[in-house]
Structure 1
Amino acid sequence: MHIPPFDNQNKPIVDVDDALVPLNYFNIVKLKRGEAFAYQVPGYETCIVPATGTVDVEIEGETYANLGNRTVDVWDGEPEGVYVPTGAKALFNCVSDEAEVFVCGARYDKVLTPFDVRADEIDLVQYGSDDTKTHRKIKHILGTKYHDRVGRLLVSELFTVGQGGWSGFPSHKHDTDRLPDETRHDETYNFRFKPNYGSGVQMLQREDGKPGDAYHIVDGSTICLDKGYHPCAVLPGYEMYYFTILGGLSQRSLVQYFQPTHAAQLETIPGIKDMIAKFK
């Protein structure tokens, strides 16, 4: 499902128990210097990630100062985040002129311990090639290195490298728990483009061999994926970014099932198997 950009007034775009992606939670909070935002999400662990701007974060008495270093846009520096345990009280204050903050989450019933992830702790992977039109970079905020500290939530930022090209290809899905072949992970994206008047397309093929849907995505678009194969592309001449939230039903590790029609192309894309391993 495509949710076009709109003024959400700091209210969840994907709320708890969403009809399409109940394992996900997503909010965008915009603040000016001195403004604060408090929240608590029972039944969901969350992560606070400034898209731009800097905030001071407090989680149940624990303080994490000066989170976020980007000013112009999401290309302007490395991401940072704070993990917020299930149901914990969270508060963040804007200490820059402005801040745009992603609050993302996954359903989880246990309470863990908060922690921060700074720019020098981001797990980076780059794969693909210009020749295969699949060149991209992934910055894992809550990736595999935090399996023992996070319940079901995976958080990353994906960037196309260069202008134009495909992402999420070869086409894959993760909508059914049937280990060892696949896991059920609901997924939510928020897209940005550079320049910001760029755009792209999100494909969604729910059944192999049958035509699917395509959504015209623009700067600020949110996509919710409950099932099906879901590659996306950016127009030539533009760069694309998408903030990625994955919430697992029975485990945190993601097992992707690649569409048999296109699976042979796993052997043609440099570094893609290393990328797959970073989500497990």
Structure 2
Amino acid sequence: MNLLEKYTQKEGYAEIIAESDKRMKHIEFGILRLKEEATFKEEINDKEVVLIILSGKCSVKGRDFEFKDIGERLNVFAGKPYSVYLPCHTFYEVTGGKGTVEIAICKASSDVGGEVELITPDKVVHKSLGRLNWTRDAYFIIDSRIKAKNLFIGETMLPSGNWTFPPHRHDFDNSPEEANMEEIYFFRTKPSQGFGMQKIYTDDGSIDETYTIGNNDVTLLPKGYHPVVVSPGNFLYILWIMAGEKRLFLSRPDPRYKSV
């Protein structure tokens, strides 16, 4: 099973993981790129949507809300993002601001209404994870504070030469140890020619894949452990999108590495 996709930069919306993709149960994903005053509009039905502003500025409005000139990052390595949560049965329109705006559009199935929410950078929660050469910075954007149906979203910054370790999975509903949450990763590298590697594997060996990952790559994680490492001299940005019916941030580390 191939679990690696690539985003090829283009104007407008580029769909990367479609609703029809049988590898994922809940998640759809794509990148929206708009020049100044260009627009994109969508009527959401049985889905919830999160807009993560990767870089640039835009305005987002709907029938009863408007957020003007949001976004302040020059790139994904330049601080916390602005984001917008949109519940099901919502119309929204995005208008590009000065220059070019790039937005990750994250979707999951939903039948629960709610409130549109603007998540400003000061509402993004930062946590330092790991130690030694598996330290990284995690930024929680859509978590239990947001009344979403399925989505749980954040960003991770992985320093030069470091790992996301120990390997963990979230395949089974076994609270409080683990929750069944599928996931995707979207990568950016600094510099852009940088690279890393990701291994995706299950206990029973039904999945055992290793990929070289680079700028604008996407990996699909329907199940299994999924550690990442970045090469020395490079920095890795990971946008992670999780979705599951129980919507809990619970994972089980690979017991073979419990000493780490």
TM-score with structure 2 setting the length: 0.93
Measured after TM superposition, the shift of residue 5 of structure 1 is 3.0
Structure 1 gap ranges (5+): 266-280
Q: Partners of 2:193 and 2:223 in 1: how far apart?
A: 29
* Corresponding residue pairs, total: 257
- Paired letter, 2:253: F
- Paired letter, 2:215: D
**Does residue 264 of structure 1 match 2:254?**
no
Structure 2 gap ranges (5+): none
Measured after TM superposition, the shift of residue 10 of structure 1 is 1.0
- Paired letter, 1:2: L
Structure 1 residues 240-255: aligned runs within 5 Å:
240-248=236-244, 250-255=245-250
TM-score with structure 1 setting the length: 0.86
Q: Which stretch of structure 1 is more off in the superposition, 226-235 or 17-26?
A: 17-26
Tell me if structure 1 keeps the 8 A contact 2:86–2:115.
Answer: yes
Q: 1:105 to 1:261 in 2, by over 3 A?
A: same
Tell me if structure 2 keeps the 8 A contact 1:49–1:68.
Answer: no
Structure 1 residues 96-135: aligned runs within 5 Å:
96-129=98-131, 131=132, 133-135=133-135
**Does residue 63 of structure 1 match 2:63?**
no
Cα deviations by residue, 1:199-257 (Å, 9 ceiling, x for unpaired): 01110112257982101111000111001111011001100001110111x21212212
Cα deviations by residue, 1:187-210 (Å, 9 ceiling, x for unpaired): 011100111110011101122579
Q: Partners of 1:94 and 1:204 in 2: how far apart?
A: 36
**Does residue 145 of structure 1 match 2:145?**
yes
Q: Partners of 1:260 and 1:192 in 2: how far apart?
A: 30
Identity of aligned residues (%): 25
Q: 1:227 to 1:260 in 2, by over 3 A?
A: same
Q: 1:247 to 1:157 in 2, by over 3 A?
A: same
Tell me if structure 1 keeps the 8 A contact 2:6–2:16.
Answer: no
- Paired letter, 1:77: G
Q: 1:143 to 1:10 in 2, by over 3 A?
A: same
**Which residue is 2:235 aligned to?**
239
**Does residue 30 of structure 1 match 2:33?**
yes
Cα deviations by residue, 1:33-91 (Å, 9 ceiling, x for unpaired): 010111234322111111001110013321011221012x1112321101001131111
Structure 1 residues 159-238: aligned runs within 5 Å:
159-160=157-158, 162-167=159-164, 169-207=165-203, 212-238=208-234
Structure 1 residues 64-83: aligned runs within 5 Å:
64-71=67-74, 73-83=75-85
Structure 1 residues 44-63: aligned runs within 5 Å:
44-63=47-66
Q: SS of the counterpart of 1:264?
A: coil
